[in-house]
Amino acid sequence: CGDVPQQIRAPSGVITSPGWPLGYPAMMNCSWYIRANPGEIITISFKDFDVQGSHQCSSDWLTVGAYKSIEDYRACGPSIPKPYISSQNHIWIKFHTDDSVTGKGFRLSYVTGKPEEPSCDWYQFHCANGKCIPDTWKCNTLDECGDNSDEEPCERAIPPTAFFQPCDYDQFQCLSRYTRIYTCLPESLKCDRNIDCLDLEDEIDCDIPSYVEKLKNFFGAFSSPNYPDYYPPGSNCTWLIDTGDRRKVILRFTDFKLDGTGYGDYVKVYDGLEENPRRLLRVLTAFDTRAPVTLVSSSGQIRVHFFADKVNAARGFNATYQVDGFCLPWEIPCGGNWGCYTEQQRCDGYWHCPNGRDETNCTLCQKDEFPCSRNGVCYPRSDRCNYQNHCPNGSDEKNCFVCQPGNFHCKNNRCVFESWVCDSQDDCGDGSDEENCPVIVPTRVITAAVIGSLICGLLLVIALGCTCKLYSLRMFERRSFETQLSRVEAELLRREAPPSYGQLIAQGLIPPVEDFPVCSASQVCKIKFTIRYF
């Protein structure tokens, strides 16, 4: 939280308020910016929500919108907001708190994907409108599909009826996890850390596994309680890895399957032994089932915290760790500090060593050649990582630790042409080719501006020409009119106006006429008309 928003590019994940579920601090402003691949949309599903309520959510609030300054909706209070489905490949999430009462906070899950897919992965549900959502979102009373196809029809667990045959004194009633019908199980199966009941009746009120385990070797492995069977609900375990070496620790989750119902189960990995939110490397949830997941610390210490609610359970996880550059007993060193590889990774067509030691001197290829995976085709070093597929399956362009000259090395170990860097297109797939780029106006915008300027300039020249021509014609007509009028005016000015008829009679120049008024030049004459009737 702060002035800089958290940039999120992962295809799925979980976002929680600071301090969740123990309560969020006051006077905070947090923001998250989620960006998906072009052509994809983002779906948000709130799993837990407890934010201070107020009129129009003016005290504490959470907003979601496609733009930083525009919010699509604002939420507060104890009710879980409805799912949000974006119309673009990016969204903004903002969380604000004032200096008064606080609440438990919020927890939301998000996934990215195309609006329509012909098929979905095995762990996903295919909506009627073609959208793919996590299978755990089905039948949770929330419309994440957008057409409610994930909520109808949904089969609910049928509670035991009054006609159910009672169990013996040394048995208990259970909705069997295997047959999915109510049956009687021995009391000895209760609290044995093995889930036998679909409703968790045999493990729900047992002692909660809660412990802290310290791991101090250069390498090792650990797993969730009762792995590979279901972990007990309510598990709360911590592993403190302290290798005693300054080199980084590589943590790999080789198998990962958590439950996503209820409040949700999670694994938090910290860079160091302290539970410091600022050093949180990642939060793994039910949406991170695509193992393996690899995390790297900045030192020789890592803290792993596993929490499970009491609502449901799953298989759990298995993890290994090792010091960076230290090879396990069953691994072969690449040489120097370039890592290790196993015998199964030898000559498999994929580089596991940056120097390619695991792919050299393979029997199928000649000297200084490397094999493609599966096809038996070989290629020279010059065809390695040049953004040109030499292998039919493109294995020569995967795991690129170094790119050929004229190519850019992406953070996800892909190579793209250098001319594609900072062209406003995500060619790497992780956006690394567009990072730290100066603000440059795209070429198409410059071209459109130049063409528009030329057209506007041409229209301006035409308008000026027409204006000048019209002005010339107007001036010519005015000069002609002024010349004729001046002659007439000069002639009229030289002449005196003739006297009126009354003035001529008054001066005696003409005889008077009957009934014609006689007046001087300074008098006002009144005309008298005589109407004669015939």
3 state DSSP class of 424? coil
Kindly state whether residue 144 falls inside one of the protein's structural domains.
no
Kindly state whether residue 126 falls inside one of the protein's structural domains.
no
217 shares a domain with 203: no
Amino acid 529: pLDDT: 46
Containing 467, the helix (H) or strand (E) segment is helix 443-494
User: CATH number for the domain including 63?
Assistant: 2.60.120.290
Domain termination site, one of 301, 323, 345 = 323
Alpha-carbon span 94 to 292, nearest angstrom = 31
308 shares a domain with 353: no
377 shares a domain with 359: yes
pTM of the predicted structure, to 2 decimals:
0.42
339 shares a domain with 318: no
Kindly state whether residue 304 falls inside one of the protein's structural domains.
yes
105 shares a domain with 92: yes
344 shares a domain with 287: no
* Strand partners for 16: 107
Alpha-carbon span 73 to 290, nearest angstrom = 32
The total number of structural domains in the chain stands at 4
Containing 267, the helix (H) or strand (E) segment is strand 266-270
Kindly state whether residue 286 falls inside one of the protein's structural domains.
yes
Containing 488, the helix (H) or strand (E) segment is helix 443-494
Side-chain-side CA neighbours of 8 within 13 Å: the count stands at 25
266 shares a domain with 229: yes
224 shares a domain with 202: no
105 shares a domain with 174: no
Domain termination site, one of 261, 291, 323 = 323
Alpha-carbon span 426 to 443, nearest angstrom = 16
313 shares a domain with 227: yes
91 shares a domain with 13: yes
337 shares a domain with 313: no
Domain termination site, one of 187, 207, 227 = 207
Kindly state whether residue 422 falls inside one of the protein's structural domains.
no
Kindly state whether residue 105 falls inside one of the protein's structural domains.
yes
User: Which residues form the domain of 317?
Assistant: 212-323
Kindly state whether residue 462 falls inside one of the protein's structural domains.
no
Amino acid 314: pLDDT: 80
Kindly state whether residue 251 falls inside one of the protein's structural domains.
yes
Alpha-carbon span 482 to 331, nearest angstrom = 108
N- to C-terminal Cα separation, the chain:
114
For the chain, 534 residues long, the average pLDDT of each consecutive 10-residue run is: 79 82 82 90 88 84 85 85 89 88 83 88 85 84 86 60 60 70 76 68 67 89 85 87 90 86 78 91 82 86 89 82 82 80 84 85 80 80 88 84 89 88 85 79 74 89 86 71 56 64 73 59 49 44
Amino acid 382: pLDDT: 87
User: CATH number for the domain including 193?
Assistant: 4.10.400.10
